[in-house]
Structure 1
């Protein structure tokens, strides 16, 4: 049963009002110097005792890179501490320090006072209705998100070759992600579009190929192997990108896996890729397929000065 339009509009309006009144539009939250994501992270860690970064990504529904940077700042500020997991020494558990417990205590006091004051303006029956209604609605939102993520994993289709609109779509995914996460601008997006347009005209060559992840006929990810531009029988891995809703779903591993099988079949001597040092999740994925860091330098080929990296996967 689909909710009535009036219910949808009323809930949306109420949600916007709650976001404003509870301070989520501010740069910091709950009488702290921290943004909402950091406050929520500390509250979740308090609730669970300790969590890994990966678990927080799932709980908060945020980008891995954003969560990693935020957690690093909380550790540096002395709010969190890291310790090795008893089950896997490579995994780090995050827990509150003494300072972090004091901060969370202040957050809870502030929030309890705000919510208590608002409930005090309602009669007991309405308070009970609000409590149960909000809990049910929040659970339904969570179930919808998990269902969407499951559908992506189950419904993704990997296709090859040129598809109408792919140049613009891949450039859009690059432009949006790198502008938001790393402040890249129009120079970078234009370079992606121009390079991809040139490459698309060379897809008739057997040494070149592109893979697109599709969900309901929409492109949600891409990767390409350019077998011409480096020469010396070396392949160039290019334009690896995922839509925001697909990160962590396994789609990226599927794309890279297809590209590596192609490289092995084409008998390239090696596969090269260029990236930069802040893309830690991508680096772990590359390394899992046998790529190794071969060179690192300060460069500006993407429009701003960053620590660029070259990774190499040798094919025996």
Structure 2
């Protein structure tokens, strides 16, 4: 871990910091220190260098003037994209050297390891969050609010996006009596801080549509998204869906990595404006995992 890292001139802690800020725009320096498990003085020195290099932007928190919110500059986002490209190439080249069948063993091991890490983080950093299934009072307004808050900041979406989210979610909740449809909420102290849904009827027989996957800014990076996604996919497999589809758009690198870690592959890209602004829309598909043969 000494020296530079990931084809950059940065130390590993700085690379990790950039990835976390990219995954959670607006994260505070204090929260970043908790995630990286670094002392306040170490975080301060590292952030000062990243700000001076032009990779990170600091903004005083409107709710707490003692805190600063961190986001990536255009140069910082480009640097993170380069880091991910380097990592993808490094991993791909290693996997190509495996014998047939060994890749599946590696994938299973990494998934178990990632789930174990997420469980550790959930209990040590984000205690008191539970995942519940079904309609809850205020769920349409709260999920819409989380979407609007996040995507107004990251993609400059406005009224059109809010209307699409609210109308679609309200219509879906009217169809929850269908056992092929389900919605989950992450709950902390009685408040919804995350959501995900599976629409089992709007894309045709045998296809599950993953929708309204969002995490509140205050709990990003704590494994809540992974827990929600795992819960939804367990439902998909139990219901016997052959495919799971989701629509997103280019630039949400943290979400893409999470999808790919759970077996999704991007199969389609095109420019579109269904959310109120032109973006490179992407469709990801996950095929139903093959059944495991029981041992003798």
* TM-score interval, normalised by the smaller of the two chains: 0.5 to 0.7
What is the CA-CA distance between 1:232 and the residue it aligns to?
Answer: 2.3
| SS in structure 1 at match of 2:210 | strand
Tell me what 1:165 maps to.
138
1:71 aligns with 2:76: yes
1:54 aligns with 2:16: yes
C-alpha separation in 1, matches of 2:162 and 2:206: 28
Unaligned runs of 5+ in 1: 1-44, 91-148
What is the CA-CA distance between 1:66 and the residue it aligns to?
Answer: 3.9
Asked if 2 retains the 8 angstrom alpha-carbon contact of 1:229 and 1:236, the reply is yes
| 1:231-310 alignment runs, 5 A limit | 231-310=204-283
What is the CA-CA distance between 1:72 and the residue it aligns to?
Answer: 3.5
The one of the two structures with greater contact order (alpha-carbon pairs below 8 A, sep at least 6) is 2
C-alpha separation in 1, matches of 2:90 and 2:125: 31
Tell me what 1:209 maps to.
182
What is the CA-CA distance between 1:81 and the residue it aligns to?
Answer: 9.7
**What does the per-residue CA deviation read over 1:22-77, in whole Å, with 9 as the maximum and x for residues that have no partner?**
xxxxxxxxxxxxxxxxxxxxxxx99x85534333437834799943855145799x
Unaligned runs of 5+ in 2: 1-7, 22-27, 33-55, 57-68, 92-121, 291-296
Asked if 2 retains the 8 angstrom alpha-carbon contact of 1:171 and 1:193, the reply is yes
* Greater radius of gyration (CA): 1
What is the CA-CA distance between 1:153 and the residue it aligns to?
Answer: 2.0
C-alpha separation in 2, matches of 1:188 and 1:84: 34
C-alpha separation in 1, matches of 2:14 and 2:213: 26
Runs of 4+ with >3 A deviation: 48-53, 56-70, 72-76, 80-85, 149-152
TM-score by length of 1: 0.59
TM-score by length of 2: 0.63
Summarize the Cα distance change of 1:266–1:73 in structure 2 as closer, same or farther, 3 Å threshold: closer
What is the CA-CA distance between 1:245 and the residue it aligns to?
Answer: 1.0
What is the CA-CA distance between 1:211 and the residue it aligns to?
Answer: 0.6
| 1:1-316 alignment runs, 5 A limit | 49=11, 51-56=13-18, 57=20, 60=29, 61=31, 66-67=71-72, 69-72=74-77, 153-315=126-288, 316=290
C-alpha separation in 1, matches of 2:171 and 2:85: 48
What is the CA-CA distance between 1:89 and the residue it aligns to?
Answer: 5.1
Query: How many equivalent residue pairs?
Result: 208
Asked if 2 retains the 8 angstrom alpha-carbon contact of 1:225 and 1:236, the reply is yes
Asked if 2 retains the 8 angstrom alpha-carbon contact of 1:65 and 1:281, the reply is no
RMSD: 3.3
C-alpha separation in 1, matches of 2:155 and 2:163: 16
C-alpha separation in 1, matches of 2:71 and 2:223: 19
C-alpha separation in 2, matches of 1:225 and 1:274: 13
C-alpha separation in 2, matches of 1:308 and 1:215: 32
What is the CA-CA distance between 1:233 and the residue it aligns to?
Answer: 1.2
